[in-house]
Structure 1
Amino acid sequence: MTRPIIEVEDLSYKYARDSVLEQVSLKVPEGAFLALVGPNGSGKSTLLKLILGLLRIQTGTIKLFGEDIRQFTNWDKIGFVSQKANSFNSGFPASVLEVVQSGLTKKIGLFKFPGKEHRKKVLEALESVGMLDFKDRNVGELSGGQQQRIFIARALVSEPELLILDEPTVGVDSKNVHQFYELLEVLNKNMGITLILVTHDVGTVTNIVTHVACLNKRLHFHGDANKYHSLDEKELSSIYGHGVQLLSHNH
């Protein structure tokens, strides 16, 4: 049996008096590609922050790699990519190489110079996302799609087993979105990295992910992507709280 990378049990969370998550339980098996979907304000970002240890658990439990999150220390096993392409400062004076290398700061140490083995890892990470030829470019000169590839390389350079991406295609044009999803497939299928993708692009991702979790305070669906794809508009509308029109995309 495939071991669970993440185990969430009866997780609830409130901001002041506002309930954001209510008794959420889910497991993410090793090697899975999970799409986390749901309407705005459904608790997706809060769930991510709890999994990443950025918020303290109020009710329930989270285990990472079989260990209670309160004792978990091996954060290098987890990579995170946010919506940086939508808000990145185009004038930021750093090369692609420097940005990716910053993902090794913890291993290299502050104010220390990287060694040959660190540079090798950086180049390998850039090659894995198809951006090796851009290593000497200023990261601010790149397109949104290219920047997101760089941020993925930055997350990959520490060789994580789990990669979490929070709506990474925000600000990326449709052509590059397609290529971006192809990259995620390669990372999952060829490199064996477990992925969690927070997205609103439901119609596209159901063709590339293995599992779907649909969150709206409570977990309304959690299972195989094919089963999610078979839900009708009425069932989806009850989850989202408003009318949903299904769109099918050929990947």
Structure 2
Amino acid sequence: MKHPIIEMKNVNFTYERQRVLEDINITIEQGSFLGLVGPNGSGKTTLLKCLLGLLKPQQGEIKLFGQPIQKFKNWHEIGFVSQKANSFNTGFPASVYEVVSSGLTSKIGLFKFMSQQDRQNVIQAIDAVGLSKFSKRNIGELSGGQQQRAFIARAIVSNPKLLILDEPTVGVDSQTVQNFYEMLVHLNRDLGITLILVTHDVGTITDKVSHVACINKHLHFHGHAKEFNILKEEEMSDFYGHSLHVLTHDHSH
């Protein structure tokens, strides 16, 4: 039986008197791949910050791995990749291997020596994101898409059970984006990592994710990707508050 990894019940968040999240009820089960979609300013990032314990909702409860978030200690079980480490200083003199290794700091402590197993984990994480031949390359020499893969490897090196990605493909070209999503499917299906992907790319992800949640202050939709695909365009426009053309990409040809 699958266990819920995340449970949010009646979660409300108000920011400077403005209600950003209202009555959010959502359960995410182990092994699922959730696409979290919604217009700009809809509360997606606020939701993530609540899940990561960075913001505290005024009402409602959040459980992670069956524990109330206030008591949750095993943060190494959750990996997080922001909107590119766009803020990352690409002139920083570190190899891909070193950047990925830095993902073990919270687990083994700063300035501690890595064990043989730690080194093996770094190599496996780099391999999982398809960067094996770049492991000695300086991070600044990689393309935007490759850098993002390196940051994902850093996030998965401590073997998290849940990986949260906040619009990781911003500024990455469309061909690279396709390969990037294929890699996420591999992490989900083959490595068993539960994924939450925040994205604007509604059409491209619906054949990759298992579930979709559509948020715009309220949770307007949460269900299987197949159900999301058959929503009428008018319903989607209601969710988003403006007209929306959902482009689904059929890769079966």
Aligned pair in 2 of structure 1 residues 115, 195: CA closer, same or farther (>3 Å)? same
Where does residue 171 of structure 2 map in the other structure?
Answer: 171
Cα RMSD (Å) of the superposition? 1.0
Give the TM-score normalised by structure 1: 0.98
Residue 72, structure 1, aligned to residue 75, structure 2? no
1:9·1:26 contact (CA, 8 Å) conserved in 2?
Answer: yes
1:90 Cα offset (Å): 2.4
Give 5+ residue unaligned stretches, structure 2: none
Partners in 2 of 1:204 and 1:68 — Cα distance?
A: 34
1:85 Cα offset (Å): 4.8
Partners in 2 of 1:48 and 1:28 — Cα distance?
A: 13
Where does residue 162 of structure 2 map in the other structure?
Answer: 162
- SS of structure 1 residue aligned to 2:71: coil
Where does residue 56 of structure 1 map in the other structure?
Answer: 56
1:85·1:172 contact (CA, 8 Å) conserved in 2?
Answer: no
Residue 206, structure 1, aligned to residue 206, structure 2? yes
Partners in 2 of 1:130 and 1:80 — Cα distance?
A: 19
1:180 Cα offset (Å): 0.2
Q: Deviations over 1:63-116 (max 9, x none)?
A: 000000000000111000111254432212111111000000122222222222
Q: How does 1:142-157 map to 2 (within 5 A)?
A: 142-157=142-157
Give 5+ residue unaligned stretches, structure 1: none
1:223 Cα offset (Å): 0.5
Deviates more, 1:115-124 or 1:71-80: 115-124
Query: How many correspondences in the alignment?
Result: 251
Q: How does 1:234-249 map to 2 (within 5 A)?
A: 234-249=234-249
1:132 Cα offset (Å): 1.3
Where does residue 216 of structure 1 map in the other structure?
Answer: 216
Partners in 2 of 1:198 and 1:74 — Cα distance?
A: 23
Partners in 2 of 1:85 and 1:52 — Cα distance?
A: 17
1:2 Cα offset (Å): 1.4
Q: Deviations over 1:158-216 (max 9, x none)?
A: 00000000000001111110000000010111111100000000001011101000000
Deviates more, 1:222-231 or 1:87-96: 87-96
Matched residue type, 1:59: Q
- SS of structure 2 residue aligned to 1:196: strand
2:5·2:28 contact (CA, 8 Å) conserved in 1?
Answer: yes
Matched residue type, 2:80: F
Q: How does 1:1-251 map to 2 (within 5 A)?
A: 1-251=1-251
1:81·1:164 contact (CA, 8 Å) conserved in 2?
Answer: yes
2:100·2:157 contact (CA, 8 Å) conserved in 1?
Answer: yes
2:97·2:136 contact (CA, 8 Å) conserved in 1?
Answer: yes
Matched residue type, 1:186: H
- SS of structure 1 residue aligned to 2:13: strand
Q: Deviations over 1:132-162 (max 9, x none)?
A: 1111111011001101110110011000000
- SS of structure 1 residue aligned to 2:28: strand
Identity of counterpart residues, as a percentage? 62
2:6·2:27 contact (CA, 8 Å) conserved in 1?
Answer: yes
Partners in 2 of 1:90 and 1:157 — Cα distance?
A: 21
Give the TM-score normalised by structure 2: 0.97
